[in-house]
């Protein structure tokens, strides 16, 4: 049974930092593209960051470039999202996602259809 479990969310002041974790089980983690998305109340789910399994290349939404860093630990089956200089507009539920294993990226990893499994999400609230 595939499970993605996010943790690390919470309430933080603007300018602060958080590190989200997503622990995966039941899948060939080291061969999956892993992504982070977020969804603010009343809005659609949006891409935040992704990391490729083949070469470790990372991808970011323009709104988080220079502030967020995605990384993975294949031995621990965990993907992380380090978030610095948080802004009020970063407030959202953050979701972890995994592609099917051995996916070869031929398009942007920002598309939700690319991902096969999703976590339940973790709330991040940034007070202004």
pLDDT tens digits, residue range 28-78? 999 999 999 999 999 999 999 999 999 999 999 999 999 999 999 999 999
Cβ atoms within 10 A of the Cβ of 99, count? 22
**Cα distance between residue 104 and residue 13, in whole Å:** 39
pLDDT for 107 = 84
Judge whether residue 106 has pLDDT over 90: no
Mean pLDDT check: name the lowest of 11-15, 16-20, 88-92, 107-111.
107-111
In tens, the pLDDT along 108-117 reads: 899 999 999 9
pLDDT for 128 = 87
Mean pLDDT of the chain: 96
């Amino acid at each position: 049974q595939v499970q993605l479990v996010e943790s690390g969310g919470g309430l933080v002041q603007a300018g602060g930092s958080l590190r989200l974790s997503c622990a995966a089980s039941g899948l060939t983690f080291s061969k999956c593209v892993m992504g982070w998305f977020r969804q603010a109340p009343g809005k659609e789910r949006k891409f935040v960051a992704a990391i490729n399994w083949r070469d470790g290349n990372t991808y970011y939404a323009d709104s988080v470039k220079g502030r967020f860093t995605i990384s993975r630990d294949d031995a621990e089956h965990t993907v992380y999202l380090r978030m610095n200089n948080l802004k009020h507009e970063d407030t959202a539920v953050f979701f972890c996602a995994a592609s099917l294993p051995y996916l070869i990226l031929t398009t942007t990893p920002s598309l939700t259809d690319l991902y096969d499994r999703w976590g339940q999400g973790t709330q991040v609230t940034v007070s202004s």
